[in-house]
Every structure is written in structure tokens, then in C-alpha cells.
Structure 1
Amino acid sequence: MEEIETDQDVQTPLQFEIEQPEEYAQYLLHAKAEVLAILRSLNQRRALISAYFDEGRTFLLTSLLAIDGDNLILELGRDDEVNRQVLAADHIVLTATVDKVKVQFTLPRLVATRYGGRPAFGAVLPDKVLRLQRREYFRLSTPVARPVKFSSSIKRPDRSVMTIEASLLDISGGGVGLMATPALAALLPRGCVLADCKMALPDEGLLVANLCVRNKYEVTTRTGSRYVRIGCEFIALPGARMSMVQRYITRVERERKARLSGMA
């Protein structure tokens, strides 16, 4: 396998669903009561929020400290220089996850304020929030102890072929989620078709399928690590292979529930 260059100094702008209203309009909430309900959920759960600026090239981790009328109070990031940069930005995209549902909203500008006697960010209430939940199939997070490896081949701009490898984050009857580096994600634009992808499902066998890249978004862990989740949809998956996927999902979920109940 050829290694993919990962120059962190060269980053392409990220694409956020909330900035693509023509495709994600059905997931946008505009009513103030709905917007407040989502924001209160972020506040009550102290959800970790990634705040992106500079076209997604720079981010900081924050949380929603309070909702004061039509204003928000956000926690400062850990890096003073990044805090200064975000205050100068004229456009910020904030993304978080609540109950496995992606939440996104944009703010025109942050201002310096104080909360509880400590420095904080202030902002006006967003006029809309994206709540992305669209699951036709049960999605199984693949076990960390027994990862599912993915491999496929893609063509470079010069038409030469390179092999790519990744790990599956999750799998369902509709497709898979890949864990990719930003460099690999840049090679897989939305709408890209990956033929004859190979996925070794433990205790089931080798699953070979065609996939289409449907979405991708950057994920930040609590330690600050960053990766890109690439959502791929199965293309005309034959019945026998779909049965393999369902058997794998059913067995792993059954084993997981058994462990939780102390029966394993």
C-alpha cells in the first residue's frame, strides 16, 4: 500500500451540512422555540462543541455555558492565540452531537465577555439550527477490540491507481462509516463511487461491495485528535451480501448486550 502524505499545514476547506441548505433543508429548524430546545439540550448536557473558522481550517473546543435571552455564553478554548483568532473571525460554524444526532449552527461573530467572573465568549442566538438524523437502518458501531478493515482502489488525477485502507467506524444495512485522515478524505469527494471495496467482517467473511460517498465531516475527540468520518452508501448490494451484513450486526449487538447484562 502506498502511504498517503499527511501535511497538516495544507488543509482544504471543510464542507458543513448547514452551509448546504439546498440539500439539507429538511433538517433545518427555524422556529425560535425549536432552536432554543436544541441549544438548551447542549447546555444541560455540557456537550463538547467544535467551533470552526477560517473555512474550517482552524477550530477550538468549547461548550455552551448559558443562554441569556437572545444571547449565548460559550466557554473559552484552551489556547489563548486561537481564542484571539476566533474573536477576529466573521463567521463561525459550531458542531456537536447529542444522543448520536449531529447538531450544527452558525454564528456571525463572537465577542469577549465574562461569565461567573471568568472570561468567556458571547454571541447572538442563531436564527436556525441543523439537526441531522436520518437513519433507515440500525447503525452498529464496530467493536474496537475487533476492528473491521476496509480497502479499495482509487484513481489519481493522472489516472494511476492507488490502494487505500481505513477502519470502519460503523456499519448498517444502508452503508458504512469510514475513519479517514484529512488527506485521505480529500481524495474522496461526495458522489465518488468506490468499486469492489473489501471489508473483512469477523466470523462472517469477506464482504465485497460498491459504495458511494454521501457525506463527510470532521470529528474531534475530547483529547483534541481530529479525523474525518466518511459516510458511504451501498450500491445495489446483493441479497446474500446484505444477509451477511445483517448477521454480523445482529451477532455483535447480541454479544454486546450479553456483556452489559453480565451474561457473557
Structure 2
Amino acid sequence: MDNDQQTSHCHLTEPAQIGGLLQSLCDRQIPISLRLEDSTLYSASSVLSVDKANGRIVLDASAAPAVNACLARSPLVHVHAQLDKVEVHFVLAGLDDTQLEQDKVFTARFPQRLLHLQRRELYRLSTPLSHWPECEINLGDDAGANPRLRVADIGAGGMALLHALEAVHLPLGQQLPCLLHIPDGPSLEIDIRVCNDRPISTADGRQLRRTGVAFQTLSPAAQKHLSRYIFALDRLRNARRQGKD
């Protein structure tokens, strides 16, 4: 499953939003890469112009004719870029090569959706040591009781878990259902995907693991409760900072 499918809540779907971000890639001459569907073939490119009125873009073609021929035949072309260190990914429904021979460019329709991991998705807040949330993960029938793992930090797009589980229990890329227990709040049913994992040592010498997970499904109600909790954490942190000043 592609990363954009796994983070559907981070997609832009309005044509005006998509056109605005594509225009930013064009104006700032951000390098992009083109990848064929079900292939490892990549080609460097850039967005040369954006026609918002007609919903079309012009892309720089490769200097290699064989690469251009492959791109022109592909029904789907994946586009990757980074804008201000934030990932941008979208899929084009084919490239039009009618201007390839004369102008050395491809044209294409706007993508229907565009993945842009906004900074609010990457923003994380540490949870209080005295009153942290817990993530109760369903590891399956053969794993025994569902473990409740401490949430070390949390944001709109995911969280970090501290635990003593073996790495085999939370393998990278796996999607798992969990109950997120918010302190003094509800328990939220959320699907998570394991993104990264590393061993750590605590101040008292204990060996733990820190596992980063991304939220996969958030109902409107879960999003509301999660936003309220993050806002409360941010307000508490700001109050403590002001108290120290």
C-alpha cells in the first residue's frame, strides 16, 4: 500500500488547493521525481508551468528518449517532491507526450488528490510523566492480553510509544487496531501503522523500545477528542513556560 493511501487524512482534494501547491513547486523550481507504476524506474523532472483554469501542468521531460518512451506508456506516474522539508506525493493519470518532440515536455491533468504532510501532522507534544495516555494494542488472538503502552508524545498525525515488547511484536509497516486511552477522557478506537522503531536506555538503566506510529483511521469524533487533548497539552506547556519566565 502506498504512503498516500495510508495517510488519507493528509490529502488535499480541492482543485484550488492542489493548484496552489503545484504552483509553489513551479515558482520555487523544486526538483521532483517521476516513477512509473509498479516499477523502480525514476526520472528527475520539474514543474514548468501550471494552468489552474484548465487543471493542467507542464513537466520537464528526460534527456533520455528511452525513459521518455516508458513514461509516455505508463498509465499511472507517481510524483514525489519535498517542499520546505515536507513530503509531497501525487499520482498522475498518464502523461501527454504531444509536445515532447518539439518542446521536450510532458503535459498532464491535475491529480485528483495530493498528499501534503502539513506541519501540524508532524508537530508532537510530550505527554506528562505523571498522567500520560496509554495505547492498548490488539496483537491478535495468539499474543495473549492486549498490552497497554505508554504514549511518550502525540500529535495530529501519530504518536511515539515506549514499551518493553520485542521488536517482532510491532514490525515496521504493520497496521494494528488499538484503543487510545486519553487521561480524564474517552478511549478512542484508532488503527495505527508502525513507522519506526529503535531501542533506548532510560535514565535508570532500563532497556526499552521507542516506536513511532501513524494514525490510519480517525473518525470525526476521535479527531475532535484528540484535538482537544493536544490543545490542552499545548496550553499546559505554555503555562509552565510562562511560570518560569
**What is the TM-score with the length of structure 1 in the denominator?**
0.48
Q: Which digits, 9 at most, give the CA deviation of each residue in 1:200-257, with x for residues without a partner?
A: 9xxx9x9954144647xxxxxxxxxxxxxxxxxxxxxxxxxxxxxxxxxxxxxxxxxx
- Do structure 1's residue 46 and structure 2's residue 29 form an aligned pair? yes
Q: C-alpha displacement at 1:102, in angstroms?
A: 1.2
Residues 25 and 82 of structure 1, relative CA distance in 2, 3 Å threshold: same
Q: What RMSD in Å do the two structures reach over aligned CA positions?
A: 3.6
SS at the partner of 1:104? strand
Q: C-alpha displacement at 1:193, in angstroms?
A: 7.1
Residues 119 and 208 of structure 1, relative CA distance in 2, 3 Å threshold: farther
Distance 1:73 1:120 in 2: 7
Distance 1:16 1:59 in 2: 16
> 1:97 matched to which residue of 2?
82
Q: C-alpha displacement at 1:63, in angstroms?
A: 0.6
Does the Cα contact within 8 Å between 2:198 and 2:211 map onto a contact in 1? no
User: What is the count of residue pairs matched by the alignment?
Assistant: 152
Q: Give the ranges of 4+ consecutive aligned residues of structure 1 lying more than 4 Å apart after TM superposition.
A: 172-175, 191-196
Residues 188 and 110 of structure 1, relative CA distance in 2, 3 Å threshold: same
Q: Which runs of 5+ in 1 are unaligned?
A: 1-14, 139-171, 176-186, 216-264
SS at the partner of 1:112? coil
Q: Which has the higher helix share?
A: 2
> 1:118 matched to which residue of 2?
103
Distance 2:84 2:195 in 1: 30
Q: C-alpha displacement at 1:188, in angstroms?
A: 4.2
- Larger radius of gyration, structure 1 or 2? 2
> 1:137 matched to which residue of 2?
124
Distance 2:16 2:196 in 1: 45
**What is the TM-score with the length of structure 2 in the denominator?**
0.51
Does the Cα contact within 8 Å between 1:190 and 1:213 map onto a contact in 2? no
Residues 196 and 104 of structure 1, relative CA distance in 2, 3 Å threshold: closer
Distance 2:7 2:58 in 1: 27
2:2 corresponds, among 16, 33, 48, to 16
> 1:64 matched to which residue of 2?
47
Give the partner amino acid of 1:47.
I
- Do structure 1's residue 28 and structure 2's residue 11 form an aligned pair? yes
2:173 corresponds, among 189, 207, 215, to 189
